[in-house]
Amino acid sequence: MRIYQERVLPHIIDRACSVGQVMKLRRQLVPRARGRVLEVGMGSGINLALYNPEAVELVYGLEPSEGMRRKAQHNLSYSPVPVEWLGLPGETIPLEDESVDTVLLTFTLCTIPDWHTALEEMKRVLKPGGELLFLEHGESPDNTVRKWQNRINPGWKKIAGGCNLNRNIASLISQAGFELETLETFYMPRAPRIAGYIYTGVARKQVMAETAVLK
C-alpha cells in the first residue's frame, strides 16, 4: 500500500488535477495570490507557473507526501516565484501568527483528515485582511448525486489518497470562522458528477471588533 501511496498515486493525482478544465479554473484563481503565500497541499506544484511573480514574494508549500514532493521537482525548476517547502500535514503549520497574506487551497480540503484544525491553523497564520483562495470539489446539492457520493465515499477514500467526495466546502470554511466574500458552485464540464461539483471563491478571516471598556 505504501508503494501505491508514494509511487503510483502521485502520478494519478497529478494527471487528474491538471486536465484542461481544471487548469482553466486554476488560471482564474491562482494569479490573485499576493505577498507571502501559503499553499496548502502543494502536491506536484501544478499551480507554480500560474503565480504572478510581480505580486508574490514567496510561496510556502505545505505538502506531507514525499511522493508528491518528488513529483514536484520538475515544476519547481521552472517556478517564477521562490518556494519554501513545509513538509507537514495541513493540521500543523510551522509559521508565525498573521505571517502570510494569502492562503491557497486547490483540491486539498477534501483530503485533510482534521479539516477543522487545518482551517483554524490557516486562519491563525493569515494576516488581518488576507485572503483564503479556494478551488475544491465536494458535496452536490442534488439528492441523487449526493446519495451516490455518500455510498461511494468509503471505497473512494481508500483508492484516492483519503479524498472525500461529500464535504460541503463552503460550510466547512464558514464553520472555521472565515467570511465568504465570493462563492461560485457548479458542475465541471465533462467530469463525473460525483466528483465534479466545484466550490471556488475567496474568503477572509473574520476580525472581531475590539471594544474598549471604561473603568
pLDDT, residue 215, reads 38
pLDDT > 50? residue 154: yes
Average pLDDT over residues 182-211: 87
Query: What average pLDDT does the structure give for the chain?
Result: 90
CATH number at residue 56: 3.40.50.150
Residue 83 has a CB neighbour count (10 Å cut-off) of 18
**% of the chain residues with pLDDT over 70:** 89
pLDDT, residue 135, reads 98
212 domain-assigned: no
68 domain-assigned: yes
213 domain-assigned: no
User: In this structure, which amino acid lies at residue 130?
Assistant: G
pLDDT > 50? residue 212: no
Q: Which residues pair with 185 in a beta bridge?
A: 199
214 domain-assigned: no
39 domain-assigned: yes
188 domain-assigned: yes
113 domain-assigned: yes
pLDDT > 90? residue 88: no
In which domain, by residue range, is 76 found?
2-205
pLDDT > 70? residue 202: yes
More confident residue, 40 or 190: 40
pLDDT, residue 120, reads 95
- Please give the model's pTM, rounded to 2 decimal places: 0.90
Average pLDDT over residues 142-151: 98
CA angle 67, 72, 76 (to 5 degrees): 150
211 domain-assigned: no
Question: Domain count of the chain?
Answer: 1
Q: Which three cell numbers stand for residue 103?
A: 492562503
Residue 199 — φ and ψ, nearest 5°? -120, 125
